[in-house]
Amino acid sequence: MSTHFICRTCGTQFAASVEPPAACPICQDERQYVGYAGQQWTTLDELRREHTNRIEEVEPGLTGIGTVPGFAIGQRALLVQTPEGNVLWDCITLLDEATVAAVRALGGIRTIAISHPHYYATMVEWAQTFDATIYLHADDRAQVMRPDPAITFWEGETLPLFGGLTLIRCGGHFAGGQVLHWPDGAAGRGAMLTGDIIMVAQDRRYVSFM
């Protein structure tokens, strides 16, 4: 029986195979690492037994979804609500029934957009569950370990979505590294959702770029 194996170190889910993949190209890349114990694999079913997701409102229209206890890289996903549909910004590996119910209660997901390949996670599971499209920048096409018709690769520097949202290619950390501009965020002052492409410095007066 073939399985969509998941790398334990980066949380990336792979195309179905009978045996686990020989290696994880995301972790072998110098921007990630292979764990001290060597390459290890898990599955979504196994993950559902060991972990749950914590879902918390960050501000009106913005909800954080993170896995406890922490898994793989440990990022959170952010659900952005707009009157024209919701965007899941970045992705996490664990998708379980409780998360599906909570996200549906918030209006589901129209589109998934992910900053860079370290957060691709189980994006295809999320897309299939919520009947969502996925927007990735074409410059990171080679980093997709589970190709799927749900994925659209866009080219260029900016891509308007809906609800005022715009994807902006920043590059840097990855050639196709993208951020999301949300003009309605922060009570109308506007917000950038950036993954680790742009990070706020400790003193909160500056940002740094990967």
**Which residues of the shown chain bind Zn ion in the complex (CB under 5 A)?**
7, 9-10, 24, 26-27, 118, 196
Is the Cβ of residue 110 or residue 173 nearer to Zn ion in the bound state? Answer: 173
Q: Shortest Cβ distance from residue 196 to Zn ion (Å)?
A: 5
Q: Shortest Cβ distance from residue 73 to Zn ion (Å)?
A: 7
N- to C-terminal Cα distance for the chain? 40
CA atoms within 13 A on the CB side of 150: 20
Contact 140, 133 (CB under 8 A): no
Is the Cβ of residue 9 or residue 99 nearer to Zn ion in the bound state? Answer: 9
Is the Cβ of residue 34 or residue 138 nearer to Zn ion in the bound state? Answer: 34
Q: Shortest Cβ distance from residue 35 to Zn ion (Å)?
A: 9
Is the Cβ of residue 8 or residue 110 nearer to Zn ion in the bound state? Answer: 8
Of 152, 150, 124, give the one whose Cα is nearest residue 15.
124
Q: Shortest Cβ distance from residue 4 to Zn ion (Å)?
A: 14
